[in-house]
A and B are shown apart, each in its own frame.
Chain A
Amino acid sequence: MNTKQIFSSLLFLLSILVLIPWFIATSGRWDLYYTLTSVALLAIASAGVWLTFYIGRINIGQGAFALLGGYITAILITKAHFSFWIALPLSGIGAALISVLIGLPILRLRGVYFAMITLVLTEVGRLSALALPITNGAKGISNIPLPGKVSLFGIPIIPDFATLENPRIGFYFLAVCLMILCFAVVFRLVHSRLGHLCRSMQQNEELTASIGVNIAYIRIIIYALCSFMGGIGGSIFAVMSQSIYPSSFQVADSINFMLNCFLGGLGYVFGPMLGTVVLYFGWDLLFQTGKYQMLIYSSLLILCMLILPNGLLSLRLPGRKNS
């Protein structure tokens, strides 16, 4: 990392960890915490989708894994009385394991075929949640308790969320910290040799196989990592809203995860984060236009893709090669 990158990362950390909470405290707009937490969680899931784009797969199935993560957390907490802090990683791991099983056959497909299958996957997720006995059908699982406190050697590290004056602050910091962690991992991965291998696979899988790379193995690893992030995002989402329903993550959400990546830029690690912010707030801002909301929103998206096919970040960094 060069000095400019370190400086901008520090500035970014400062703004989301200090400036935004300070702004919310002074302006009294506590509702923003909920919005921003949602954005952070959606960005985590989108980062996973971005990774599958990085190996040349269009993934419209992240909603299924977010839903899965949410249900695993909900079931573990309400039925097995696990602590949220154990259920959270287990949700990610559970989603990753399922994605390995599903990925083994479907990752052989490419292009539009993979996209179609993953799109169906989201719907399969919703229908399974409706049908399975453990998920409580359309009623979903509600009254999920807030995360409890965590202490190490008697020293409290994370306070009990229920005792907080505003539990949303807790969720905000949790989501934002995880988002930073996820993007740091993706950044590191992309700039390591593994990232180079992913890029080779994106450009030509046969050639990559011919140089002795086990492409099936790398595809599975990346897809599992993607689903892990989806599961984590869904898990926190379920606990934050204290409920999960089959309709919590639908096809529209899966498509949004993909759009976030497109909009931010497939060539940039931080593309999905920017895409999520712009798309989420853009949609809300257009709310005032009433019945024209969808029309304007869609037209703007089409314009963006025509004018900026490489995403919003290509605007800020003209001439810079993909990183």
Chain B
Amino acid sequence: MTPPILQVRNLTKKFGGLTANNDISFDVAPGEILSVIGPNGAGKSTLFKLISSFLRTTSGEVLFAGERVSNLAPHIVARKGIVRTFQETTIFKNMTVRESVIVAHHIRSKANLLGYFFRSANAHQDEQTFGRSADDILDFLGLAPLANEIACNLPQGHLRALGIAIGLACDPKVLLLDEPFAGMNHDETMQMVELVRGVRDRGVTVLLVEHDMAAVMRISDRIVVLNFGEKIAEGTPAEIQDNEQVIEAYLGREEDLVGLYTC
């Protein structure tokens, strides 16, 4: 087996008295699609923010290709190759689709700030490379016809795709997707599933947080299940479907009131 690209080691996050993540460990192999699922409040989003360093850990660590990346500044983690996307409301609202994606190429920039200002040769070269690469990414995600649209005018599905486009522009090794299927109908979900597979086929390892069980079962190579901040299961979709604890977490025990534990 190839060594894991991302290792989560005993990760714990406490907010005051609340333990959002408790002693979570798992590995992510290069080139796989791993989903993190769990009922509301299970600590999925917290886990995501810990991996992308948007939150500081209480204890434990995240290793990327063997190197510790937890508790660094978010932009440094992004530079190393772990890039997160946000839910669709988090975009550059007043920029066009193409501008947003070009700006997102920042990591690949050869010029420095003074170079930008004085339009150095590097800055000029950057602009051309970024433009070509942005067009390529927009083409890949089916956003090319909307390239000159202001981002806030896009419908929801395209906003998600734009979020992924911004993520891809950073040339990530690991892309973290935050609920890519939320609020989508069946057809849209299927399109998005194809899209995420396409991202993986570009050589990007995908880690996603999701509610939509059907989509997760379809797309994931492996699944990690969280409940009340703890990892309760890890395995292939088939294994997860038959796991007693997972069924219990999602549907509740028999003696519980119906609806109390449903997702």
Contacts and interface: CB of A to CB of B under 8 A. Distances in A.
Interface of A: 188-189, 192-194, 196-197, 199-200, 203-204, 206-207, 209-216, 218, 221, 322
B48 to A, nearest CB: 11
Given A197-B106, A203-B95, A204-B92, A210 B73 contact: no
A212 B107 contact: yes
Contacts of A189: 117
A100 to B, nearest CB: 15
B44 interface: no
A211 B166 contact: yes
B104 A188 contact: no
A262 B167 CA distance: 34
21 contacts: A192-B117, A193-B103, A194-B113, A196-B99, A196-B103, A199-B92, A199-B95, A199-B103, A200-B92, A203-B95, A207-B166, A210-B52, A210-B54, A210-B78, A211-B104, A212-B75, A212-B106, A214-B73, A215-B75, A218-B113, A221-B113
Contacts of B123: 192-193
Contact of A211 (B116, B117, B169): B169
B141 interface: no
Interface of B: 52, 54, 73-75, 78-79, 83-86, 90-95, 99-100, 102-104, 106-107, 109, 111, 113, 116-117, 119, 123, 126-127, 166-167, 169-170
Nearest to B169: A211
Contacts of A197: 103, 106
B94 A322 contact: yes
Contacts of A214: 73, 75
B86 A210 contact: yes
Given A207-B91, A209-B74, A193 B86 contact: no
Contacts of B127: 193
A77 B83 CA distance: 53
The binding surface of chain A is classed by DSSP as helix
Given A196-B99, A213-B75, A207 B117 contact: no
Contact of B106 (A188, A192, A213, A216): A213
Given A194-B116, A197-B103, A209 B91 contact: no
B133 to A, nearest CB: 13
Given A199-B103, A210-B85, A211-B107, 18 more contacts: A192-B117, A192-B119, A192-B123, A194-B113, A196-B103, A203-B94, A203-B95, A204-B90, A204-B92, A206-B86, A207-B86, A207-B92, A207-B166, A209-B78, A210-B52, A212-B78, A212-B170, A215-B75
B90 A206 contact: yes
Contacts of A216: 73
Which one of A193, A200, A216 has the highest number of Cβ atoms from chain B below 10 Å of its Cβ? A193
Contacts of A199: 92, 94-95, 103
B14 to A, nearest CB: 22
A56 to B, nearest CB: 12
Contacts of B117: 188-189, 192, 194
Contacts of A200: 92, 95, 100, 103
